[in-house]
Amino acid sequence: MNIPSDDFYTLIHAALAHRGAETLQRALYHALREAILCGRLQAESRLPGSRVIAQQLSLSRNTVNAALEQLTLEGYLRRSRRGTRVAAQVYRAPDRALPEPAVTLAKRVARLPGPTPRGTPVPALTPGTPAINYFPLPLWRRLYDRVLREEGSALLGYGDPAGEPLLREAIARHLALSRGIDCDAGQVIITEGALEGVNLCTQLLSEPGDVAWVENPGYAGAKSAFAIAELAMAGIPVDEEGMCWEGLTLPPPALIFTSPSHQFPYGSVLSARRHLALLALAQRHGAWIIEDDYDSEFRYSGEPVPAMLGMVKNAPVVYLGTFSKTLFPSLRIGFMVLPPALANAARPAIGALLRGGHRAEQRTLARFIEEGHYARHLAAMRRLYRKRYRQLREAIDTELHVAHRVLAGEGGMHLTVAIDGIDDVAVVQRARAFQLAPAALSGYYLDAKQGQTGLVIGYGNTSASQFAPAIRRLQHLIGQQTGGKA
- The pLDDT value given to residue 283: 94
* 486 has a pLDDT exceeding 60: no
Any domain includes 125 = no
Looking at the structure, tell me whether residues 333 and 184 fall in a common domain.
Answer: yes
With 60 as the cut, is the pLDDT of residue 184 above it? Answer: yes
At 440, give phi and psi (nearest 5°). -80, 120
Q: How much is the average pLDDT of 239-262?
A: 94
| pLDDT tens per residue across span 428-447 | 999 999 999 999 999 999 98
Classify residue 23: in a domain, yes or no. Answer: yes
Report the side by side order of strands in the sheet with 77-80.
46-47, 83-86, 77-80
Distance CA 483, CA 3 (A): 79
- Whether residue 53 sits in one domain with residue 150: no
Examine the domain organization and report whether 269 and 177 are in the same domain.
yes
For the segment 67-81, the average pLDDT, to the nearest whole number, is 92
The answer to the question of residue 218 being in a domain is yes
Rounded to the nearest integer, the mean pLDDT of the chain is: 90
Percent of the chain, pLDDT > 90?
70
Can you tell me the mean pLDDT for 197-226?
95
CATH number for the domain harbouring residue 404: 3.90.1150.10
- Per-residue pLDDT of 32-41, as tens digits, reads 998 888 888 8
Query: Is there a single domain that holds both residue 471 and residue 328?
Result: no
| Residue 9 clears pLDDT 90, i.e. is over it | no
Residues 197 and 318 in one domain: yes
pLDDT at 410 over 80: no
Q: What is the pLDDT of residues 355-369, one digit of tens each?
A: 888 999 999 999 999
Q: Are residues 474 and 436 in the same domain?
A: yes
* Residue 220 falls inside a structural domain: yes
- The pLDDT of residue 403 is 94
Assign 133 a pLDDT band (cuts: 50, 70, 90): very high
Q: Pick from 335, 351, 375: which residue ends a domain?
A: 375
Domain that holds residue 457: 379-482
Q: Reply yes or no on whether the pLDDT at 274 is more than 60.
A: yes
Question: 328, 354, 375 — which closes off a domain?
Answer: 375
- Answer yes or no: is pLDDT of 100 > 80: no
**Cα-based distances in Å from 95 to 29, 35, 37, 98:** 21, 14, 11, 8
Lowest-confidence pick of 66-80, 107-121, 143-157: 107-121
Whether 210 is covered by a domain: the verdict is yes
User: Is the domain of 455 the same as that of 470?
Assistant: yes
Please identify, among 375, 400, 434, the residue that sits at the C-terminal boundary of a domain: 375
Q: What's the domain count of the chain?
A: 3
In single-letter form, the type of residue at position 349 comes to A
- Residue 336 resides in a domain: yes
Does 120 reside within a domain?
no
Q: What is the pLDDT, as a whole number, of residue 313?
A: 83
Mean pLDDT of 54-75: 92
Question: Where does the pLDDT of residue 44 fall: very low under 50, low under 70, confident under 90, or very high at 90 and above?
Answer: confident
Residue 104 burial class via C-beta count within 10 angstroms: exposed 0-12, middle 13-18, buried 19 and up: exposed
pLDDT the model gives residue 118 = 66
| Angle at alpha carbon of residue 383, lines to 381 and 389, rounded to 5° | 95
Task: Say whether pTM exceeds 0.75.
Answer: yes
For residue 209, what is the domain's CATH number? 3.40.640.10
Using the CB atoms, write b or e for 176-211: b if 16+ within 10 Å.
Answer: eeebebebebbbbbbbbbbbbbbbbbbebbbeeebb
- Which pLDDT score is estimated for 122? 84
CA distance 161 to 356: 4
CA distance 219 to 444: 7
Paired with 190 in beta bridges are 335
Query: Do 347 and 385 share a domain, yes or no?
Result: no
Q: Using pLDDT thresholds of 50, 70 and 90, give the confidence band for residue 81.
A: confident
Residue 113 domain-assigned (yes or no): no
- Between 93 and 11, where is the model more confident? 11
Question: Is 292 in the same domain as 409?
Answer: no
Q: 366 and 398, same structural domain?
A: no
If asked whether residues 196 and 342 sit together in one domain, one would say yes
The CATH number of the domain holding residue 50 is 1.10.10.10
Query: pLDDT > 70: what percent of the chain?
Result: 94
CA 210 to chain centre: 24
Q: How far is CA 100 from the centre of its chain?
A: 30
pLDDT of 67 strictly over 70: yes
pLDDT at 110: 73
Beta partners for 78? 85
The predicted model gives 384-390 an average pLDDT of 95
Residues 6+ apart with CB under 8 A from 398: 468, 471
Kindly state whether residues 237 and 351 are assigned to the same domain.
Answer: yes
* pLDDT value of residue 356: 84
CA distances from residue 371 to 53, 77, 93, 184, 366 in whole angstroms, order as listed? 69, 63, 66, 19, 9
